[in-house]
Structure 1
Amino acid sequence: MPAASTTLRMLAVSVIASLTVTGCQALDDAGRAIGRSDLVNDLAARLDRALELTYSADYQLPGGQTASIAQAQQPARSAYTYPGGRLTVTDEATTRCETTGARTTCTLEAPPAPNSKPSVAVFTEAKRRGLVTPPVVVGMLTEAALDPDAVITQSDTTVAGRHATCVDVRQAAGNFTACVTTEGALGSFTGQVDGKPVELALSRYRETVDQTAFDLPPGAGVVDRRTADS
């Protein structure tokens, strides 16, 4: 996905240029402090690599609920499954599925423009249901990097057997902690999202994807709005 990668690099360069003079925050017990430019550089590089990966990630949510992310290439496509629904993004459609009782209804909308990534708004429902997607975390971290009063500290951990780098953000807009694996997958997240507490942790990571992850759920009702969107 060349255009997405270029966009991320441009974002990183833009933020780094505006934050060069800010330096690093003071050390505290949460870990070593990092420069905001370092944060954006690391995040952009990991996400850049992750865009080119095929992987499946399962997550544990509060109350015993689960969620998952599946991503594959050639063609690029992704699926985000969360309690009560699923979002699938392919070059054919952006599909939102909602399950109420025993009935599932899927709405097909226009896909992202060629060679581009879906907007953060696409992930609103997943976020509301407790699955904070990587694009949402990228936005939150970038906003924190732009906040001159934010204290951002870094630490390392292991999540589901994978090494991960964690950033702990303390700011007026809301505190949160996010961990990203070496591969670029979201390892864990704890914090406030749109005023709502959210918590998730990676429970399993695989470098393969079940191809049925991108199919419509069996028996789902389908509403096709792609013509109306074009």
Structure 2
Amino acid sequence: MPAASTTLRMLAVSVIASLTVTGCQTFEDAGRAMGRSDLVNDLAARLDRALELTYSADYQLPGGQAAGIVQAQDPARSAYIYPGGRLTVTPDAVTRCTETGGRMACTVVTPPTPGTKPTVALFAEANQQGLVTPPVVIGMLTAAALDPESVIKQSDTTVAGRHAACVEVQRADGNFTACVTTEGVLGSFNGPVDGKPTELALSRYSETVQKGAFDPPPGAGVVDRRQGGS
């Protein structure tokens, strides 16, 4: 996904520029800024690489609920599965599915700009249902890096048998912890998202994708609102 890669690289560069061009930094402030920018750049690069992978990731949510992220390439496609719904993004369509009365109802629309990276706003429903997505996490890290009052601590852990780098962020508007695996997959997250407490942890990772992973769920009602759709 060249557009996604370019966006995340520009995001990381803008963070570094914002943190290093301030005119009246002390040496201590400059060191803190460089540490934050390096950290954001590293995690952005990991998440960037993951956009070019084919994988399936299952997540455990509080209360025994589950969620998942599926990606495939050529063409680039992604699906985000969460309690009560799912969001699928392909080069020519965005499909939102919501469970109503025990049955899935799906709406298909044209992407804002076909073939480009979806906006963070697109993931609002997934966030509210407990699945915080990688674009949202990188946005939160960027905001923390730009906040001179934030405190960012780094650690390492293992999630679902995979090594992950973690950051614990303390901010006035809410603390959060995020872990990213070596592959660049979101390993875990704990903290508020859009004002709602959110917690998830990777439970299974596979480099394969099941057939039909990007199709509407079996038996779902589908309304195609794209131009020329039926």
TM value normalised by structure 1: 0.92
8 A Cα contact 2:178 2:190, kept in partner: yes
**What pairs up with 1:96-107 in 2 under 5 angstroms?**
96-107=96-107
Residue 122 of structure 1 is matched in structure 2 by 122
Alignment of 1:78-97 (within 5 A): 78-97=78-97
In the alignment, is the contact (CA less than 8 A) between 1:34 and 1:153 conserved in 2? no
Is the partner of 2:123 in helix, strand or coil? helix
Structure 1 residue 17 and structure 2 residue 17: aligned?
yes
Decide whether aligned partners of structure 1 residues 53 and 133 sit closer, same or farther in structure 2, where only a CA change above 3 A counts.
same
**1:174 Cα shift?**
0.6
Task: Report the secondary structure of 2:213's partner residue.
Answer: helix
1:196 maps to a residue whose letter is K
RMSD: 1.7
Higher mean displacement: 112-121 or 136-145: 112-121
Work out the CA distance in 2 between the residues paired with 1:60 and 1:148: 33
Name the structure 2 match of 1:62: 62
Q: Which runs of 5+ in 1 are unaligned?
A: 26-32
| AA in 2 matched with 1:160 | A
2-side partners of 1:152 and 1:228: how far apart? 49
Following the alignment from structure 1 to structure 2, what is the Cα–Cα distance between the partners of residues 220 and 15?
Answer: 43
Q: Which residue of 2 aligns with 1:159?
A: 159
Show the counterpart of 1:77.
77
SS at match of 1:205: strand
Q: Is the 8 A contact 2:91 2:115 kept in 1?
A: no
Q: Deviations over 1:100-136 (max 9, x none)?
A: 2321100111125244210001100000000001111
Gaps of 5+ in 2: none
Separation in structure 1 between the aligned mates of residue 169 and residue 126 of structure 2, nearest angstrom: 22
Q: Residues 35, 55 of structure 1: CA spacing in aligned structure 2 closer, same or farther, 3 A cutoff?
A: same
Asked if the contact 1:4/1:115 (under 8 Å) is kept, the reply is no
Could you tell me the TM-score, scaled by structure 2's length?
A: 0.92
Indicate the SS of the match to 1:213.
coil
Give the counterpart letter for 1:155 in structure 2.
S
Amino acid at match of 1:130: G
Distance 2:143 2:209 in 1: 32
Cα deviations across residues 17-71 of structure 1 (Å, max 9, x unaligned)?
A: 111254345xxxxxxx981111221022112211110000000000000000000
Contact 2:91 2:116 in 1 (8 A): no
1:36 maps to 36
* Matching residue's letter, 1:108: V
> Is residue 92–residue 114 contact of structure 2 (8 Å, CA) maintained in 1?
no
Q: Which residue in the other structure is 2:191 paired with?
A: 191
| Equivalent residue letter for 2:147 | D
2:202 aligned partner: 202
Alpha-carbon distance in structure 1 between the residues aligned to 2:108 and 2:115? 19
Alignment correspondent of 1:30: none
TM-aligned CA distance change 1:57 to 1:34, over 3 Å: farther
Tell me the alpha carbon deviations over residues 144-186 of structure 1, each in whole angstroms, 9 at most, x when there is no partner. Answer: 1110000001000000000000000001011000000010000
Cα distance in structure 2, aligned partners of 1:24 and 1:59:
36
**Counterpart mapping for 1:176-187 below 5 A:** 176-187=176-187
1:171 paired residue number:
171
CA distance in 2, matches of 1:64, 1:24: 42
